[in-house]
Amino acid sequence: MKTGDLKLGFIGFGHMAQGICRAIDRAKLIPRSQISFIRRDPAKMKKSEQEFGVTSSTLPTLVEKSDLIFICVRPAQLEQVLKDLAKLKMGSQKIITIAAGVKMAYFQKHLGRIPIIRAMPNMGSSVLEGMTVLSFQQNADAVLKEEAQAIFSCMGEVIEVPEELMDISCGLSASGPGFVFRMIEAFAKAGEAHGLPYPKALKMAAQTFAGAARLVLKGGNPKDLIAQIATPNGTTEAGFKVMDESKTDQSLSSAIQAATKRSKELSHEFF
């Protein structure tokens, strides 16, 4: 089956599900008529239907008509959703889950040997600059991988890792935008403290991060780029000395480790 012929169903339609839907629509990958969704709040469901031009549904109908089912609910709702799905006849449908920390084995516990993909898109996906990390079952076929790659590449870059690396991927990539936002905010406040109007300082900070990231993505090695900008006794080197004294690198590494640890804790909560 071609990707454009797939019928998608979203169980849960919050910010990330909406972002996936928008990206698919912008890329004209799958027609809106082949996308359906459900969400708990009837008022929000009606609003989403009008805003996105996709069809709201019931769980039995969504399952019956979907080839790929995205499970995009909060972790607290996940067990009940899987119990409800287990009561329905699941045929050739495949599951994509974006639940952080929840292993594929937990889904199989409720749904049997149904094909499952773990996907971890991050916030940049909403502006098509996302980083999505995918993990597949060992027996996942090439077609399933191609379908997932096609869908998530609409939102930015895609990397595949084994499931045992999903926790660190969560700490680095899924939580990562939050850490970057903190740094951008700190840059902007520093500019404001020295007289720059905050909106201008914020734009300068954000574009500085964007440009630096683009240099790396175009093949630049961070160490080489640092050597180019940090001239002896220059302004950047003066800043690096402060970063070294305050152990900035270690603090950032510790933040990622803490997020990774929490992802591992979440996986234990579901068994």
Q: Are 25 and 86 part of one and the same domain?
A: yes
Q: Are 152 and 211 part of one and the same domain?
A: no
Per the model's pLDDT, the better-predicted residue between 87 and 140 turns out to be 87
Q: Are 139 and 254 part of one and the same domain?
A: no
Summarize pLDDT for 31-82 with one digit per residue, the tens. Answer: 999 999 999 888 999 999 999 999 999 999 999 999 999 999 988 899 999 9
- 245 within a domain of the structure (yes/no): yes
pTM of the model: 0.91
- 145 within a domain of the structure (yes/no): yes
Q: Are 141 and 60 part of one and the same domain?
A: yes
Q: Is the pLDDT of residue 4 over 90?
A: no
- 171 within a domain of the structure (yes/no): no
CATH number of the domain enclosing 244:
1.10.3730.10
Q: Is the pLDDT of residue 104 over 70?
A: yes
> Residue 140 — pLDDT band, cuts 50, 70, 90?
confident
Q: Are 40 and 73 part of one and the same domain?
A: yes
- Split into its structural domains, the chain has a count of 2
Question: Which one of 166, 189, 218 terminates a domain?
Answer: 166
How confident is the model at residue 261, as a pLDDT? 95
Q: Are 19 and 95 part of one and the same domain?
A: yes
Q: Is the pLDDT of residue 174 over 90?
A: yes
How confident is the model at residue 75, as a pLDDT? 83
Question: Which one of 166, 200, 234 terminates a domain?
Answer: 166
**Residue located via tokens 């008022």:** 43
Q: Are 140 and 180 part of one and the same domain?
A: no
Q: How far is CA 35 from CA 17, 22, 120, 211, in A?
A: 12, 11, 20, 36
Range 101-130 average pLDDT:
92
> Residue 30 — pLDDT band, cuts 50, 70, 90?
very high
How confident is the model at residue 268, as a pLDDT? 82
Range 92-120 average pLDDT:
92
Q: Are 55 and 128 part of one and the same domain?
A: yes
- 42 within a domain of the structure (yes/no): yes
How confident is the model at residue 267, as a pLDDT? 81
- What are 93's two structure tokens? 């449908």
Give the domain range for residue 98.
3-166
Q: Are 130 and 263 part of one and the same domain?
A: no
> Residue 89 — pLDDT band, cuts 50, 70, 90?
confident
- 232 within a domain of the structure (yes/no): yes
How confident is the model at residue 178, as a pLDDT? 97
Q: Are 143 and 212 part of one and the same domain?
A: no
- 118 within a domain of the structure (yes/no): yes
- 242 within a domain of the structure (yes/no): yes
Average pLDDT, the chain: 94
- 18 within a domain of the structure (yes/no): yes
> Residue 90 — pLDDT band, cuts 50, 70, 90?
confident
Closest CA to 244 of 230, 228, 261: 230
How confident is the model at residue 1, as a pLDDT? 66
Q: Are 183 and 79 part of one and the same domain?
A: no
**Residue located via tokens 């006849």:** 89
How confident is the model at residue 271, as a pLDDT? 65
- The 3-class SS string of the chain reads CCHHHCCEEEECCCHHHHHHHHHHHHCCCCCHHHEEEECCCHHHHHHHHHHHCCEECCHHHHHHHCCEEEECCCHHHHHHHHHHHHCCCCCCCEEEECCCCCCHHHHHHHHCCCCEEEEECCHHHHHCCEEEEEEECCCCCHHHHHHHHHHHHCCEEEEECCHHHHHHHHHHHHCHHHHHHHHHHHHHHHHHHCCCCHHHHHHHHHHHHHHHHHHHHCCCCHHHHHHHHCCCCCHHHHHHHHHHHCCHHHHHHHHHHHHHHHHHHHHHHCC
Question: Which one of 137, 166, 195 terminates a domain?
Answer: 166
How confident is the model at residue 139, as a pLDDT? 78
CATH number of the domain enclosing 107:
3.40.50.720
Summarize pLDDT for 207-237 with one digit per residue, the tens. Answer: 999 999 999 999 999 999 999 999 999 999 9
Q: Are 109 and 133 part of one and the same domain?
A: yes
